[in-house]
Amino acid sequence: QVLLVQSGAEVKKPGASVKVSCQASGYTFTSYGFSWVRQAPGQGLEWMGWISSYNGNTKYEEKFQGRVTITTDTSTSTAYLELRSLISNDTAVYFCARDDIVGPTQNDYWGQGTLVTVSS
């Protein structure tokens, strides 16, 4: 069965960076992509960006441009989200989700979420 397992909770200070991982299993990794979506406490879903696991093409939401990098490692079937220059408003649960290979679409499988807390 398809599984996306994310890394554990993180606590970071303002200005720091965080890197969240998402290890996939149960399907051919390079036949799909990933989107990253975050959810602040009590708030809705916010799309951050997408990557093709086939060729590494990426698309980022404009508000995160320059502060976020999404990568994949095909040798370990793992996707990564790195977010830099953290501020308190970045406190949220970050989800990885399986996506299409050519561009962001609907997400049929989701990771369990990773809580990132930004606090001094």
Partner 1 sequence: YDLIQPLSVSVSPGQTATITCSGDDLGNKYACWYQQKPGQSPVLVIYRDTNRPSGIPERFSGSNSGNTATLTISGTQTMDEADYYCQAWDSRSVAFGGGTKLTVL
Where does this chain bind partner 1 (CB under 8 A)? 35, 37, 44-47, 50, 59, 61-62, 95, 97, 103-108, 110-113
Q: How far is the CB of 24 from partner 1 (least distance, A)?
A: 14
Q: How far is the CB of 75 from partner 1 (least distance, A)?
A: 26
Token reading at 66: 């320059």
* Choice between 45 and 87, CB closer to partner 1: 45
* CA–CA distance, 44 with 30 (Å, rounded to integer): 29
* Choice between 29 and 94, CB closer to partner 1: 94
Backbone φ/ψ region at 77: left (φ over 0), alpha (ψ -120 to 50), beta: left
* CA–CA distance, 15 with 84 (Å, rounded to integer): 7
Burial class (CB in 10 A: 0-12, 13-18, 19+), 10: middle
* Choice between 58 and 74, CB closer to partner 1: 58
Q: How far is the CB of 88 from partner 1 (least distance, A)?
A: 22
Q: How far is the CB of 113 from partner 1 (least distance, A)?
A: 6
* Choice between 10 and 46, CB closer to partner 1: 46
Backbone angles phi, psi at 39, to 5 degrees: -140, 110
